[in-house]
Structure formats: structure tokens, C-alpha cells
């Protein structure tokens, strides 16, 4: 059974890069996973402490290093 804990509204979280949902925290055996509430297949952090920073890094549309620019046009 999945039990989700909402993340406080005053904490900045990137939306899920796959579906745009605000992430939630799942508690599993005393460990915490930051994940998408819609699907387990979307990005989720490793079990441990609540690592919103890792979630934010992985769900950023533009990586922090700015290694390449996309030529794709949004249609």
C-alpha cells in the first residue's frame, strides 16, 4: 500500500518532468522517497532522507550546467 505525505507548500519543488505533478514523499520502512504521485515509473529519489534537492535537480528541464541548447521548437 502506498502512503504519500504531501510536501509543505512553502518548500520549492520542481514539477515532475514527465507529467507536471507536484512531488510527494512516500514513506517505506522508515525511509523516505521523493516521487511523483502519478506513477512509479517517473523519477523518484533513492530511499533515505527526504532529498528534494535531488528531485529538483533531476526534474529540471534545463540542467544546471547549461551544457547544450536545444534547437527543438515547441509547436
Binding-site ranges for Zn ion (CB under 5 A): 16, 18-19, 21, 36, 38, 42
Minimum distance, C-beta of residue 22 to Zn ion, in the bound complex (Å): 10
25 Cβ neighbours under 8 A, 6+ residues apart: 4, 5, 6, 7, 32, 33, 34, 35, 50
The candidate with the shortest Cα–Cα distance to 3, out of 30, 35, 27, is 27
Q: Least distance in Å: CB of 54 to Zn ion? A: 15
- Residue 21 CB, shortest distance to Zn ion, in Å, is 5
Amino acid at each position: 500500500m502506498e502512503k504519500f505525505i504531501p510536501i509543505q507548500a512553502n518548500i520549492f519543488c520542481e514539477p515532475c518532468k514527465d507529467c507536471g505533478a507536484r512531488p510527494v514523499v512516500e514513506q517505506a520502512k522508515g525511509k523516505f522517497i521523493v516521487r511523483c504521485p502519478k506513477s512509479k515509473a517517473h523519477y523518484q529519489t533513492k530511499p533515505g532522507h527526504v532529498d528534494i534537492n535531488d528531485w529538483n535537480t533531476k526534474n529540471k528541464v534545463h540542467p544546471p550546467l547549461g551544457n547544450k541548447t536545444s534547437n527543438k521548437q515547441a509547436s
